[in-house]
A = this chain, B = another copy of it.
């Protein structure tokens, strides 16, 4: 499955990738577009990426995760383009023998993804204005 998609994220499909009857614990992280009270209501976020790099960087992150948690299964996807408020922009699934590993592995992948993926977001507010958001 591609790491980048312009369609809504299908969690069921991602779960299907990692399901294995040797893996008793599965952890899913979903990051969604918040209404963002500080600067007025965010209607949507437009995600822009250096696509050729983002795909291969996500692949490197997952490859590193597989080395750190051998036997674990991983699936991940970042949505690009306009993501409406309340919908997920990123999903990470980690499945492992037991829950402690699954939690650690999922947390590690989402943290790395946030730090390493060349992806940017432009917030679109309810009033029609927009702004690059850097965190």
Contact = CB atoms under 8 A, between A and B. Distances in A.
Interface of A: 11-12, 15, 19-35, 37, 85-86, 88, 97, 99, 102-103, 106-107, 110
A25 B31 contact: yes
Nearest to A30: B26
A26 B26 contact: no
Interface of A is mostly: mixed
B12 A35 contact: no
B33 A21 contact: yes
A23 B31 CA distance: 9
Contacts of A15: 11, 30
A85 B20 CA distance: 9
Contact of A107 (B26, B30, B86, B103): B103
Nearest to A37: B22
Contacts of A20: 86
